[in-house]
Structure 1
Amino acid sequence: MAKYRQLHTQFWSDGFVLDLTPEEKYFYLYLMSNSKTSQCGVYELPIRIIEMETGYNRETVIKLLKRFEEYKKIKYCTETKEIMIFNWSKYNSPNNANAIKCVNKEIKNIKNKDFIKLLYIKYYDLHLDIKKIFEGVFVFTDKAEPLKGGSTSVTENIDITKDEEVTLENENIINDAESEEIVIDKKIEDSNTCKFEDVITFFKKNICKPKQYECKKLKEWSDNIDYDVIIMAITEATKYNAKNIKYIENVLYSWEEKGLKTKEDVEVYKKGWKGNKKYNSTGKDRWDMIEQRQYDFKELERKLLGWED
């Protein structure tokens, strides 16, 4: 349990959040920042505690819980009084040794075994170190067996619904990016039909050989914006010699805030931005183009000294 929970500024401009009522926004924020939250996003939260901390009555709490379950944002278990926030792992991935150790300890205390299965699938889908995260953890399927990190046979034994299936799309692409170099015959940035393979290749060619977490970040962005836009952001990072995934994400965040999600959107924006620069096409400061007022300084001096009369 942490004393602080970080909220990304993109929360308020997220399409899902924008459509929520003020009551729903407040409740969603509460679920992500209350005193019972955990590092893994699965934690025990009795309805009585929600009533006390939010000020809502039981009927309202149950109504809101069901509503967010319908939105497919959470899952609440009345038997164990545990809740799972589905998108938690996406923004709070255990990427270091201390976080992995903390998550492993929390998973061992989860009572609802179905939550452990879903958590395993989400971490597997994010290409995290499954073996260390689930070390010593058992998941009961048809047969009681321990989870083995990175083993696809484990996920095949888990009984899940269609919406919760493991999405292993682009896994081979990421593996290729971490092994052999992919050669391209033309400039990818000039293409209008980019694929995720092109994004990985372009990153490797202009930035560096992508690590696992960098591939994961690029994949997350590709779910929301066009591949071409990601490549344009990589180009910006190369242009200003800021060759790292953090700078690329800052560029993408900036464009996302302005609603730029396609290559055409970014090109139009960049043209308009260039037209509003301080200096015009002549290289002259724009303020020098404004006609200056002329003053008679001797007359002003006489007025200030009272000599006018």
Structure 2
Amino acid sequence: MARYRMINTDFWMTPIVGEELTPDERYLYIYLLTNYHTTQIGIYRILKKQIAVEMGFSLEHIESLMESLEQQHNLIRYNPETREVVMINWGNMIHSRGGKPVMDCIDSELRKVVDTSLISYVLDSIKRPEIRSLYEKFFDRNCNNYEEGDATPALDEPKRRQKKKKKKKKKKNNNKKLLKQI
């Protein structure tokens, strides 16, 4: 698969990029969107030290910029344990054509995500229904460890209720089988 990222030119017109980010924050943000380590899904592993070397900044400066992009501007999330970064508005900025090769690539890359909770951050920005459904199915398959009331953007409330009903029904059926055996 070709290694390039097409970014909408409206990127520069968004209020956050155009008015709120400092030049260094903009540079880091565009780097995070387009560097060699990016994936088709907007979630990938990268070391902060690696970013610093590739951008020519100190590690401390990169940490400060990433904290700002995460805490102040809500543009990224970084998991320091898995060293994965997620670009929250990935679907709004990167326009990918669908088709089987792209869908297969997305499926393959979603399977490699270590911190699967990061998938929920990118999900809201995915507009193409076929790509969005792949993210949702993967998230649903791999992130079933939520409790009722948790914020899970990937699953809307009716789907959560339906899953809970299925679990109760299955448990009830198992209990009936146990009672018949006794």
Q: What's the TM-score, normalizing by structure 1?
A: 0.43
Matched, 1:22 2:23: yes
2:16 maps to a residue whose letter is F
**Structure 2 contact 139–154 (Cα < 8 Å) conserved:** no
- Counterpart for residue 88 of structure 2: 86
Task: Give how far 1:17 is off.
Answer: 1.0
Matched, 1:101 2:104: yes
Residue 128 of structure 1 aligns to a residue in which SS?
helix
- Counterpart for residue 11 of structure 1: 11
Question: Could you list the per-position Cα deviations for residues 216-239 of structure 1 after superposition, in whole angstroms to 9, with x for gaps in the alignment?
Answer: xxxxxxxxxxxxxxxxxxxxxxxx
1:115 maps to a residue whose letter is L
Aligned pair count reads 153
- Counterpart for residue 32 of structure 1: 33
**Structure 2 contact 120–139 (Cα < 8 Å) conserved:** no
Larger RCO, structures 1/2 (Cα 8 Å, 6+ apart): 2
**Structure 2 contact 140–154 (Cα < 8 Å) conserved:** no
Matched, 1:72 2:79: no
Moved over 6 A (4+): 165-168
The range that moved more, 6-15 or 96-105, is: 6-15
Task: Give how far 1:141 is off.
Answer: 3.1
**Structure 1 contact 51–58 (Cα < 8 Å) conserved:** yes
Which ranges in structure 2 are unaligned for 5 or more consecutive residues?
158-182
Task: Give how far 1:131 is off.
Answer: 5.1
Question: Could you list the per-position Cα deviations for residues 6-34 of structure 1 after superposition, in whole angstroms to 9, with x for gaps in the alignment?
Answer: 23222222221111221111111111111
Distance in 1 (alpha carbons) for counterparts of 2:5 and 2:76: 18
Bigger proportion of residues as helix: 2
Distance in 2 (alpha carbons) for counterparts of 1:119 and 1:49: 23
Task: Give how far 1:75 is off.
Answer: 0.4
**Structure 1 contact 121–166 (Cα < 8 Å) conserved:** no
- Counterpart for residue 112 of structure 1: 115
Residue 159 of structure 1 aligns to a residue in which SS?
coil
- Counterpart for residue 233 of structure 1: none
Alignment equivalent of 1:128, drawn from 127, 130, 146: 130
Distance in 1 (alpha carbons) for counterparts of 2:138 and 2:14: 35
1:255-266 matches, cutoff 5 A: none
- Counterpart for residue 151 of structure 2: 160
- Cα root mean square deviation, aligned: 3.1
2:111 maps to a residue whose letter is K
1:93/1:158 Cα in 2 relative to 1: closer, same or farther (>3 Å)? Answer: farther
Matched, 1:138 2:141: yes
1:141 maps to a residue whose letter is N
Task: Give how far 1:139 is off.
Answer: 1.6
Question: Could you list the per-position Cα deviations for residues 227-277 of structure 1 after superposition, in whole angstroms to 9, with x for gaps in the alignment?
Answer: xxxxxxxxxxxxxxxxxxxxxxxxxxxxxxxxxxxxxxxxxxxxxxxxxxx
Q: What's the TM-score, normalizing by structure 2?
A: 0.70
1:49 maps to a residue whose letter is Q
Question: Could you list the per-position Cα deviations for residues 193-213 of structure 1 after superposition, in whole angstroms to 9, with x for gaps in the alignment?
Answer: xxxxxxxxxxxxxxxxxxxxx
Distance in 1 (alpha carbons) for counterparts of 2:11 and 2:139: 35
Task: Give how far 1:165 is off.
Answer: 7.4
1:159 maps to a residue whose letter is D
**Structure 1 contact 117–139 (Cα < 8 Å) conserved:** no
2:86 maps to a residue whose letter is M
Q: Which entry has the higher C-alpha Rg, 1 or 2?
A: 1
Distance in 2 (alpha carbons) for counterparts of 1:114 and 1:21: 29
1:9/1:75 Cα in 2 relative to 1: closer, same or farther (>3 Å)? Answer: same
Distance in 1 (alpha carbons) for counterparts of 2:156 and 2:139: 25
Residue 138 of structure 1 aligns to a residue in which SS?
helix
